[in-house]
Amino acid sequence: VADPEQGDIIDETLDLFRANSLFCNFEIKGPADRLLIILILYISDCLAKIGSARTVPTQIEASKMLNTLSVDNLAIPGDA
């Protein structure tokens, strides 16, 4: 059972998104770092998808856009 007082990898990714997304190189020391990189790329894709709309989407429109994005294949570094 996870401790609700302790943050998880999603919280950490969101808290450190801006700082971590500015790094050109990121030393991968383990699976948690790899997951952090994948989540940063996914958040970047989400923001790009919402930002590419012709007009500012409503919350419902943005939710639909992100739901569509969530079922697409995410290109992970190192994959073909």
pLDDT at 1: 60
Residue 43 burial by Cβ neighbours in a 10 Å radius (0-12, 13-18, 19+): middle
Work out the burial of residue 22: count CB atoms within 10 Å of its CB; fewer than 13 is exposed, 13-18 middle, 19 or more buried: exposed
Using 50, 70 and 90 to split pLDDT, how confident is the model at 59?
very high
73: tokens are 């294949």
pLDDT tens profile 7-42:
788 888 898 888 887 887 878 899 988 888 889 889
Task: Give the other-Cβ count within 10 Å of 15's Cβ.
Answer: 11
